[in-house]
Amino acid sequence: MSAHRSPFPIRWLAAGGAAVVAGIIGVALVLQTGGSACAAPPSTTAKSGKATFYDLAGTSGNCSFEVPADDLYVALGPAQYSEGASCGAYLDVTGPKGKVRVKVFDSCPECAAGHLDLSRTAFKKIGAEVDGIIPIKYKLVTNPSVPGPISVRIKEGASQYWFAARIDNHANLLSSVQVASAGRSFTKAHRTDFNYWLIDSGAGPGPFKIKITDVYGKTSTVSSIKMSPGSVQKTSVRASSASSSSSSSSSSSSSSSSSSSSSSSSSSSSKKAASASAKAKPSASAASKKSSPSPSAPNPSSASPLLESATTGPAADTAVAGPAVDLAAAEKAPTC
């Protein structure tokens, strides 16, 4: 199965008013059906780095999500993408013009740790598009507000003999997903780098209960999920809450047709060259969010190393304006 993201993207960066094409060496993404080889607890400590922007070529990102309605998303390099473990998390990113919250949506094979490749809409909220590349500070958000309740998408080709589902609106990084068909016990699924959870031997005909657990130990359970490949099934269960204690709740789900290009794991995506003169996409106005209480310590055995890798600092001659962020000392990168 090939990655959704083109291994040969091209960026246009403006330097001193002149357009400079950044030469990129493609890095092939190999499908990993096991856990992350570089697992470490996520950190909410702010980091320094740099941001660029890109446009999707009418396709989905490597996390297999539909494009967010507000068009605010980010692609991470291999170390921080962590074979899909960071998908669905949210980052607060501060640049010269202000701050924006983005959803981890895609992988960026050529990006080093600390290099965030933002959607054009997100980039324009924190920096001048003509700059092409800007210094930033960024951090993982704990218990972020999400656009709706948990949803489940059963993958095309799934059956009672092979189970594959994508979970969305889970808010925090996920630690595990377990699935139970009617009259059966829960079976643990394993995550792929394109953000589907698989049970290779199948989970039965359904309907299913799906139990998701985040890295802070918070558990939510959705019920009545049908074996309906290619449809997004919306539930009434919300994953994010002010409490970090484990909870379990169930709901009936409704199925709606999905035309997401993420439905085919064999399809490839490509990026359009981002022109500094191109018109920006419309975006929703940023809403202020209250801080959530500090959660319990994350599970180090299954968390993404999202913000633990060494980062690239901002340019020495460029100060980052906007909300003040208290930066801790740089953390040592984990050994992969």
Percentage of residues in the chain with pLDDT exceeding 90? 55
**Confidence band for 324, pLDDT divided at 50, 70 and 90:** very low
Tell me: pLDDT of 79 over 80: yes
Q: What is the pLDDT of residue 156?
A: 98
Average pLDDT over residues 113-123: 98
Tell me: pLDDT of 5 over 70: no
Q: What is the pLDDT of residue 57?
A: 77
More confident residue, 39 or 200: 200
Tell me: pLDDT of 4 over 60: no
Q: Which residues pair with 152 in a beta bridge?
A: 167, 233
126's CB contacts (< 8 A; 6+ apart) are 51, 93, 94, 95, 96, 97, 98, 99, 100, 134, 136, 322
Q: What is the pLDDT of residue 27?
A: 28
Tell me: pLDDT of 75 over 60: yes
HEC profile for the chain? CCCCCCCCCCEEEEECCEEEEECCCCCCCCCCCCCCCCCCCCCCCEEEEEEEEEEECCCCCCCCCCCCCCCCEEEECHHHHHHHCCCCCEEEEEECCEEEEEEEEEECCCCCCCEEEEEHHHHHHHCCHHHCCEEEEEEECCCCCCCCCCEEEECCCCECCEEEEEEECCCCCEEEEEEEECCCCCEECEECCCCCEEECCCCCCCCEEEEEEECCCCEEEEEEECCCCCEEEECCCCCCCCCCCCCCCCCCCEEEECCCHHHCCCCCCCEECCCCCCCCCCCCCCCCCCCCCCCCCCCCCCCCCCCCCCCCCCCCCCCCCCCCCCECCCCCCCCC
More confident residue, 26 or 218: 218
- 180, amino acid identity: A
d(C-alpha 271, C-alpha 285), whole Å = 25
- Sorted by where each begins, the domain ranges of the chain are 151-261
Q: What confidence tens digit (pLDDT) does each residue in 225-266 have?
A: 999 999 999 999 998 554 433 344 444 444 444 444 343 343
Longest dimension (CA), the chain: 66
Q: What is the pLDDT of residue 222?
A: 98
Averaged confidence pLDDT in the chain: 73
Q: Which of 56-60, 96-100, 207-211 has the lowest mean pLDDT?
A: 56-60
Instruction: Read off the tokens for 138.
Output: 């960024």
Average pLDDT over residues 262-280: 39
Q: What is the pLDDT of residue 85?
A: 97
Average pLDDT over residues 115-128: 98
Q: What is the pLDDT of residue 296?
A: 55
CATH T-level topology, domain 151-261: Immunoglobulin-like (2.60.40)
Q: What confidence tens digit (pLDDT) does each residue in 21-47 have?
A: 333 223 223 223 333 334 343 467 899
Q: What is the pLDDT of residue 116?
A: 98
Q: What is the pLDDT of residue 249?
A: 43
Q: Which of 63-77, 207-221, 282-296 has the lowest mean pLDDT?
A: 282-296
**Confidence band for 309, pLDDT divided at 50, 70 and 90:** very low
Residue given tokens 């968390």 in the structure block:
303
Q: What is the pLDDT of residue 272?
A: 39
Q: Which of 75-84, 101-110, 188-197, 250-259 has the lowest mean pLDDT?
A: 250-259
Q: Which of 47-61, 152-166, 286-300 has the lowest mean pLDDT?
A: 286-300
Tell me: pLDDT of 121 over 60: yes
Q: Which residues pair with 139 in a beta bridge?
A: 92
